[in-house]
C-alpha cells in the first residue's frame, strides 16, 4: 500500500543576517541555515534591535507572559534601554497578572492595546487566533532558529499541535489505556505502560539518542511487538494526519477555531459553550495516583507496543510534512523536538490537561477536536488488525529503520541545550481560571 502523496523537495530557505552567526547544517542530505541559540547572543540584541525604542507585546495568554518577560530580561542583561511594554484590551483581567510580573502603568510598561501599538516600533501580536490570524516570533531562547515562511510555519504549527504534539498523543494514550485494562492489565501498570512510557523513557531517549536507540534497546520479543503495533498503526495515523494537514492548509481548520470561539458566548438564543475539561475521566485519576508515588526521576517502563504505535504516529507525521515540502528543521521541530523536549514533560508532570491547556486557545481547541479521531481510528482499525494477527508490513519497518530523518535528528540533538525543561509537580497552569487556587 502506498500513501499516494505527491513528493515535493523540502523547501530550501536561506536568510541574511549581518548580526548573528549563520551556520549551514546538513539534514538528511539537504543544506539548511540556522542561528544557534544561547545566552552568548544577548550582547547582540541591541545591535539586532537597532533603532527600536519600544517593543509592544500584545496579549497575555500563554505566549504573552513568556515573550514579554524573556525580551525584557534578555534586554536588561544586555544593558539595553529598549522598553518592553505589554498592551491589553480595556477591562482585561490580565492587567493584574501583568502587574504581578512587573509590568506597570507607572513605569510605562503596561497599557491599553492601541496606545501600546501606536507607541511601539516593533509589535508582537499575541492575542488569540480567533481574534487575529497572525503570529511570528524570533526565539533566542530556542535551541536554534531556522528559516521558514509564514505560510509553511503556520501550516506545520497548527497541524503539528493537532498531531503528535498534543491531539494525536492524547488519542493514542486513551486508546491504549482502554485496550490494556480491557485485556486485564492492572490500571496503574496500564497508565505507566502508556503515558509514563511515552513522557518518560521514550521522550528522554529520543531527545538524547534518537528514535532508533529506543527500538534497538528492545529485546527480540519486544521488537516483534513493536513491529506489529507500528505496522498496524502507521496508515490509520497517516489517514487522519493527512486529512488534518489539508484542513489546515485550505483554511478550514482556522475557520473552525474562529467559529468555536464564537460559541464560547451565548448568541442567537443558543447557550454559551466554553471549553470543557479533558482530564476528568478515570484514566487521569489513575495518573494522579501513579504520579503521587512515582520516585523522583523515574522514567517509567519501555512498553514495546506503546512505542510501536507512538513511533508510527511520529513517522507518519514526518512523512506528511516531508511530502508537503517542509524543511527538515521545521519537520523535526514540529514532530519530534517540541514533543519530547517541550510538551510531553508537561503531561509527565501533571497529566494531559496540563500539557494541552498551557498552550494557545487554537491548540486547545484543535487538540480537543482531533484527539478522538486518533483514538477512534486506532481502536477501530489498528488494534483490530493486531488482534486478527495481520501480517507485519516489512517494507514499513525497513523504511522506518533506514529513514534519513534519524541522521537529521542526530544533527539537531547536537544543538540541544545542555539543560532539560523543568516542569515540577507544583508548577501551575498559565491561565488563572485553571489554577488549583482558581484565582
Ligand atoms: N508558535 C508557537 O509555538 C505558538 C505557541 C503558542 C501560541 N502561539 C500563538 O501565539 C498567539 C497567542 O496565543 P496564546 O496561547 O498566548 O493566547 P490565547 O489564549 O490564544 O489568547 C489569549 C490572549 O488573547 C487576548 N484576546 C482574546 N480575544 C481578544 C480580543 N478580541 N481583543 C483583544 N485581545 C483578545 C486575551 O485577552 P485577555 O487577557 O483580556 O483575556 C489574552 O491576552 C496565537 O496566535 C497562538 O497561535 C504560537
Q: List pocket residues of ligand 1, CB cut-off 6 Å.
A: 59-64, 88-89, 92, 94, 126-129, 131, 135, 157, 359-362
Residue nearest to atom 29 of ligand 1 (CA): 131
| 228-246 residue pLDDT tens | 999 999 999 999 999 999 9
Position 118 scores a pLDDT of 86
Is the pLDDT confidence value at 199 over 50? yes
Q: How far apart are CA 34 and CA 22, in angstroms?
A: 6
The confidence score (pLDDT) of residue 10 equals: 60
Closest atom of ligand 1 relative to the 65 alpha carbon: 16
CA distance 176 to 163: 17
Rounded to an integer, the average pLDDT of 289-311 is 97
User: By alpha-carbon position, which residue is closest to atom 41 of ligand 1?
Assistant: 92
Handedness of CA 31, 37, 40, 44 (dihedral sign): positive
Residue owning the nearest CA to atom 38 of ligand 1 = 92
Nearest CA to 308 among 227, 376, 254, 201? 227
Report CA(345)–ligand 1 centroid distance (Å).
22
Q: Are 143 and 77 in contact (CB under 8 A)?
A: no
- Ligand 1 nearest atom to the CA of residue 133, by list position: 45
The per-residue pLDDT for range 264-282, each reduced to its tens digit, is 999 999 999 999 999 999 9
Q: What is the pLDDT of residue 143?
A: 62
pLDDT value at position 11?
60
Residue with CA at minimum distance from ligand 1 atom 33: 89
Highest mean pLDDT among 12-21, 84-93, 125-134, 167-176: 167-176
Residue 103, all three cell numbers: 509590568
Locate the ligand 1 atom nearest the alpha carbon of residue 88 and give its number.
Answer: 40
The pLDDT confidence band at residue 6, using thresholds 50, 70 and 90, is: very low
What is the Cα–Cα distance from 314 to 293, expressed in whole angstroms? 30
Cβ count within 10 A of residue 216:
12
Which residues fall in the annotated binding site? 157, 161, 219, 334, 338, 360
| Percentage above 90 pLDDT, the chain | 74
Binding site for Mg(2+), by residue number, is 157, 161, 334, 338
Report the separation in Å between the CA atom of 125 and the middle of ligand 1, taken as the mean of its atom positions. 8
CB atoms within 10 A of CB 248: 22
pLDDT for the residue numbered 12: 61
Mean pLDDT rounded to a whole number for the chain: 91
What would the pLDDT profile of 44-76 be if each residue is shown by its tens digit? 888 889 989 999 999 999 899 999 999 999 999
Mean pLDDT lowest among 14-28, 218-232, 412-426: 412-426
Residue 130 and residue 158 in contact, taking contact as beta carbons nearer than 8 Å: no
Lowest mean pLDDT among 57-66, 118-127, 142-151, 400-409: 142-151
Amino acid at each position: 500500500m502506498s500513501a499516494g502523496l505527491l513528493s515535493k523537495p523540502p523547501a530550501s530557505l536561506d536568510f541574511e543576517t549581518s548580526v548573528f552567526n549563520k551556520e549551514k547544517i546538513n539534514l538528511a542530505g539537504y543544506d539548511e541555515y540556522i542561528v544557534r541559540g544561547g545566552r552568548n547572543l544577548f550582547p547582540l540584541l541591541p545591535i539586532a534591535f537597532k533603532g527600536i525604542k519600544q517593543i509592544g507585546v500584545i496579549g497575555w495568554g500563554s505566549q504573552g507572559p513568556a515573550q514579554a518577560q524573556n525580551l525584557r530580561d534578555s534586554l536588561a542583561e544586555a544593558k539595553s534601554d529598549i522598553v518592553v511594554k505589554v498592551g491589553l484590551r480595556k477591562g482585561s483581567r490580565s492587567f493584574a497578572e501583568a502587574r504581578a510580573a512587573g509590568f506597570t502603568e507607572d513605569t510605562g510598561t503596561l497599557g491599553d492595546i492601541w496606545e501600546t501599538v501606536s507607541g511601539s516600533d516593533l509589535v508582537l501580536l499575541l492575542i488569540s487566533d480567533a481574534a487575529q490570524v497572525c503570529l511570528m516570533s524570533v526565539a533566542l531562547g530556542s535551541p536554534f532558529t531556522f528559516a521558514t515562511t509564514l505560510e509553511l510555519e503556520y501550516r506545520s504549527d497548527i497541524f503539528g499541535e493537532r498531531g503528535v504534539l498534543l491531539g494525536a498523543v492524547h488519542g493514542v494514550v486513551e486508546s491504549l489505556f482502554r485496550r490494556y485494562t480491557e485485556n486485564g492489565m492492572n490500571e496503574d501498570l496500564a497508565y505507566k505502560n502508556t503515558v509514563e512510557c511515552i513522557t518518560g523513557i521514550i521522550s528522554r531517549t529520543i531527545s538524547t539518542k534518537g528514535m532508533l536507540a529506543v527500538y534497538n534497546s528492545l529485546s527480540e520479543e519486544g521488537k516483534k511487538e513493536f513491529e506489529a503495533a507500528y505496522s498496524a498503526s502507521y496508515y490509520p495515523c497517516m489517514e487522519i494526519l493527512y486529512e488534518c494537514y489539508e484542513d489546515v492548509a485550505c483554511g478550514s481548520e482556522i475557520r473552525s477555531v474562529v467559529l468555536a470561539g464564537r460559541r464560547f458566548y451565548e448568541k442567537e438564543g443558543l447557550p454559551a459553550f466554553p471549553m470543557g475539561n479533558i482530564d476528568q475521566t478515570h484514566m487521569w485519576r489513575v495518573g494522579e495516583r501513579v504520579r503521587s508515588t512515582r520516585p523522583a526521576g523515574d522514567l517509567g517502563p519501555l512498553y514495546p507496543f506503546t512505542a510501536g504505535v507512538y513511533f508510527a504516529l511520529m513517522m507518519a507525521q514526518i512523512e506528511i510534512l516531508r511530502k508537503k515540502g517542509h524543511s527538515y528543521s521545521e519537520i523535526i521541530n514540529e514532530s519530534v523536538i517540541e514533543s519530547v523536549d517541550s510538551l510531553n514533560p508537561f503531561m509527565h508532570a501533571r497529566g494531559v490537561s496540563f500539557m494541552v491547556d498551557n498552550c494557545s486557545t487554537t491548540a486547545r481547541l484543535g487538540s480537543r477536536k482531533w484527539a478522538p479521531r486518533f483514538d477512534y481510528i486506532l481502536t477501530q482499525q489498528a488494534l483490530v488488525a493486531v488482534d486478527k494477527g495481520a501480517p507485519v508490513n516489512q517494507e514499513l519497518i525497513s523504511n522506518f529503520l533506514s529513514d534519513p530523518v534519524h541522521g537529521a535528528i542526530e544533527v539537531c540533538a547536537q544543538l540541544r541545550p545542555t539543560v532539560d525543561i523543568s516542569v515540577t509537580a507544583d508548577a501551575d497552569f498559565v491561565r488563572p481560571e485553571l489554577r488549583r487556587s482558581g484565582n
